[in-house]
Structure 1
Amino acid sequence: MTTELSQRTNEAVEERYDEYVMPIWKDLDVPVKRAKNCSLEDYEGNTYLDLFSGISVANAGHGNEAVVEAAKTQLEEFVHGCSYVHPTEPVADLAERIAEITPGNLRKTFFCNSGTEAVEGAIKLARKYTGSKEVIALEMGFHGRTLGSLALTGNKAYKDGMAPTINDVAHAPAPYAYRCRSCDESCSEDCADDLEQIIGTHTSGDLAAVVVEPIMGEGGIIVPSSEWLARVKDITHDHGGLLIVDEVQTGYGRTGRMFASDHFDVVPDIMPQAKGIATGMPLGAFTAPAEIADSFDSGDHLSTFGGNPVSCAAALATIDELRNGIVDNARVQGEWLSDQLEPLESSFNTIGDTRGLGLMQGIELVDPTEDGPRGVASKPDRKLAKRISAYLREEGIVIGVGGYYGNVLRFQPPLTINREQLERSIKALRRALKREEGDEDA
């Protein structure tokens, strides 16, 4: 029998997850009863500062009133119009708004339900437009967990026991400056030239697309040099392919600009989006110039729930909220946060690197007594990252842990976070690091 709401506890929720929900996460952090702005509350009244925002989803803040009101208003009109059967105003308005805010000549949008679907749709569109089949992604990149997107994801941990279905995929090295084996710490455009060799050695000359994240999220908040993305686009075009820039995690203000591509002055050929697009309502999209988008014929690609009018109404309100100061806050607070994190590298031996843009910042934790993979940098310390995360949770702070080696703390809070909340986070992080390094005053 379902537990009565008044009797629900954290333990009861977790027990039902164990019994009735397929395994989805190794560690349950906080069973959430309600969330508001940057705070989570569990079933026992404990509150937590959320530094992960549901993996970069609640960009406009949990329970943003304007977004909630927009969704409620649309719910009272109709819930499901199926935008690929009946045209609806929320879909038309959102598509027009996306054309206004996306880089360059990106104009026409296909709506779906998630980032994974957006990436797979973008691949289909690239193949249709170019008439080619082969795709190149990045080592350590992440583009989803369905069989198609899993082929692009460059991490065995996500693929183990579940072979992907797209065979025409190769992987190029990531612009991971801290652990780069082939260039200096700048990991400049020269690193992008590795793509030329991958095309020459791993493809048959039938390139449809190169897919990259402008900042690699699951890979460990890996930020390329300012020249890298432009060079990748040039190489891709030289070989007849399209550049797909996956902005699922980086888009909608996360990096202090509306899209991370804006930092690099690069206009994608196709741009998948999701996560922060509707502040938690299920919605994905991919956008392309009219010439590319129009290569799809009617019926080439469909989605029953894609472009749900309630989600689109929430997305329209989200964009308005983001443009009304929230993206600016992400830039300002992100610059302050970066300035606070960088000195930690010299203060703590267990911090190998800090990096990021806006409110997408990573802290790479290491064991300084051992060399890293192939002797590059220090050994990644996955266990330390888990201990720091657990300590912060005891302090009432939820933070993400990820990266290819599982050793990166991920600062990705709602973009509405304020300075006081960030200062609290930095102080708690310092205490945790001091404790780990044996400082008795921690």
Structure 2
Amino acid sequence: MRRLQCGHPLNVFPLGNAFLDDSAQQRRSQGLGNLQRLGDERLLQLLRWLDVSSLGRCCQCSCMMRGFAAAEELWQPLVMNQVLAAAGSENCCRDGFNGFSWKGRTWREAFLRSRSGPPPPRTARTPRIYSDVLYRGFFYAATELNPSWLSTETIQRVSHDISPHDFLERFEQQSCPVIVEGCVKHWPAMHWSRDTLVSRFGAVPFAAGAADFPLELWYDYAQSNTDDVPLFIFDKYFASRAPELLKDYEVPKIFHGRDLFNFLGEQRPDFRWLLIGFRRSGSKWHLDPNKTCAWNAVVRGRKRWLLLPPGCPPPGVHPSKDGAEVTQPVSLLEWFSNFYEELQRHVEANPAWELKEGTCGAGDLVFIPSGWWHCVLNLDDDTIAVTQNYASETHVSSVRRFLSERRDQVSHAALCASSRLSWQGYQAESWNMDIR
């Protein structure tokens, strides 16, 4: 963990520091008035109901209220709503998105600069505000990657010339993660980068979080934000938005022709995504949809992978009984900071918890077996990858049972009624997929 390079922009400190400040409670009571009775979480929940103008007026009430009303977690959804409102409009262009462009380092600053220019300089230092709730995001945004998180390599590695038969027998059928080195180095996609993609698709919107961003606007955000949970592009519609990208890669030979969902045609579940993220962004702990297997191929940068076998959710991660929801820390860095060492201790005490860790570089591919928990952390700026999920013969029974029993969790609502699937002579029973 590196030391913080500068203080919180709103002069927020961890709550424990209030014990060393005799005037802390008085400033809170005077600055918040009757709202002081609310806890910090409740106060933020209340402020989430306000629009931009109301939040701006709250920022003028007092230094204490400004610490809450200017919180990034309030301004990000407001800006995202502005972007969402502009999706598909004629104003979407390289110079901005419906008049919005990313200027500054925070969501509030970007919003204010886009609407009325830079905020006026502050002449007086804001009195200290003590709140763990307000400080948490700033702390994890400034938390550096610990080398111990990245040093272990337990994911097996094989050469790109492994045959489909050997891969199927050694890894897919054994439900064993593996990194296939150099598997996609021949792809034209290996030339993807910020410059090449922006020159081709700068004005094309791609999904990042809850909004669609023109690619150039997203890159402007990615290189200058201070978020503890940086947005990254995770787009399942890229094939229709930028179909030229499909010409730059192909399904690797070890997976070619083995996806049973291909027999469903246009009614197949969501299965491929484009991923672009900067350092420290990534996917929190999750299971892939529909009990499918997956491959993830990196064409630029590096990705750090952690995987756990089915039925072994990591500490700090709490799936609901039906598996539809997962409760875990807000950011991936927060999980690593608080639970990575605990996971290591748990694995040492429980041999059945076969933790797999490894770094996948450009040109390499990771195979994720059906039902494995995993999280992914981008280690470099402008990390780019393509991933696809597939229904294999090996796990067809699990996939069929999931589609039949967990219809509300199927990743594609258009998936419809009974289909008979065949794969190299293999006849599956009717899937009974009456999904609506």
Shorter-chain TM band:
under 0.3
Task: Output the TM-score relative to the length of structure 2.
Answer: 0.28
Task: Output the TM-score relative to the length of structure 1.
Answer: 0.27
